[in-house]
Amino acid sequence: MTTSTTLDSTLDSLGVRRSGAASGSTATTTTKKSDTLDQSAFLKLMTAQLQNQDPFSPMDNTQMVAQMAQFSSVAGISEMNTTLTAMAAKMSGTTRADAMSYVGKTVLTAGSVAYGRTSGGIAGAVELDSAASNVSVTIADAQGNPLKTLSLGAQKAGTASFDWNGKTDSGQDAGSGPFTVTLNANDGVSAVSGRPLVWAPVQSVSMPSSGDPVLTVAGLGQINISAVRSVG
């Protein structure tokens, strides 16, 4: 068997046909070949190339090393992508499993309805999209009657906490709620956008076939787990 025939046979076994090569018995295989070379195929091809090179004009060492380095880099990136995909899948699974532990706990999330603590009053926060010179929170009963207005003064963009002791402006006990929380914020000229954050107990967790787990919280209904700002 000639050198050319040996090289053609090796190429055919890898699913590659050299330009101008004759179709031989090896080349007529009906097995579907891959369009890409994996590590094993690359080593076979390089070995065949070395075995069939012209001894009076051998392969350039620099080119060979460069080809090997390039293939090594591609193989390394492929393995890294596989590892990262596996890690992402595991992290997603951990998030879904951890969601079950939310039941019975309280979470801080965007909302306007809050239930009183056993010690009285409520705690919460406001989330401002930009700085405000005047920020206040009005707490009302279930019928919308104002019970207490808390002044938070000037606040930067972001989150600012508040704590209400459960007493109305007249000093009376407001009861256990539910209460409605309203944010009022301005920069002295115009209103500043934002939202109140309330603490609410998690009653149950549902796991959809795709997407984030969904929490059912008292007074607010269903929220995505990604909407949780803090867990108490």
Instruction: Return per-residue pLDDT of the chain as tens, 232 residues.
Output: 554 555 566 556 555 555 455 554 444 444 455 555 566 666 777 777 777 776 766 666 676 667 666 666 666 676 777 777 766 655 555 466 677 788 888 999 999 999 988 888 999 999 999 999 999 999 999 899 999 999 999 999 999 999 999 999 889 999 888 999 999 999 999 999 999 999 999 999 888 777 778 889 988 999 988 888 988 8
β-strands 146-155, 113-114 pairing = unpaired
Tell which residue, 210, 145, 134, 211, has the closest CA to residue 179: 145
Same domain, 145 and 196: yes
Tell which residue, 51, 49, 1, 50, has the closest CA to residue 25: 1
Same domain, 113 and 208: yes
Same domain, 183 and 218: yes
Same domain, 114 and 141: yes
Q: Give the pLDDT of residue 181.
A: 96
- Of the three residues 46, 61, 96, the one that is the final residue of a domain is 96
Same domain, 184 and 150: yes
- Of the three residues 54, 81, 96, the one that is the final residue of a domain is 96
Same domain, 169 and 135: yes
Question: Helix, strand, or coil here: 72?
Answer: helix
Same domain, 194 and 109: yes
User: For residue 223, what is the domain's CATH number?
Assistant: 2.60.40.4070
Contact in structure between 167 and 185 (CB atoms under 8 Å): no
Contact in structure between 219 and 172 (CB atoms under 8 Å): no
Same domain, 60 and 173: no
Same domain, 81 and 123: no
Q: Give the pLDDT of residue 209.
A: 75
Which domain covers residue 21, as residue numbers?
3-96
Q: Give the pLDDT of residue 99.
A: 74
Q: Give the pLDDT of residue 182.
A: 96
Q: What's the predicted TM-score (pTM) here?
A: 0.58
Same domain, 113 and 218: yes
Around Cβ 205, how many Cβ atoms within 10 Å? 17
Q: Give the pLDDT of residue 26.
A: 46
Contact in structure between 203 and 218 (CB atoms under 8 Å): yes
Q: What's the number of domains the chain is made of?
A: 2
> Does an H or E element contain 99, and which?
helix 61-99
- Classify residue 143 as exposed, middle or buried by CB count within 10 Å of its CB (0-12, 13-18, 19+): exposed
- Of the three residues 60, 75, 96, the one that is the final residue of a domain is 96
Same domain, 70 and 108: no
Same domain, 17 and 82: yes
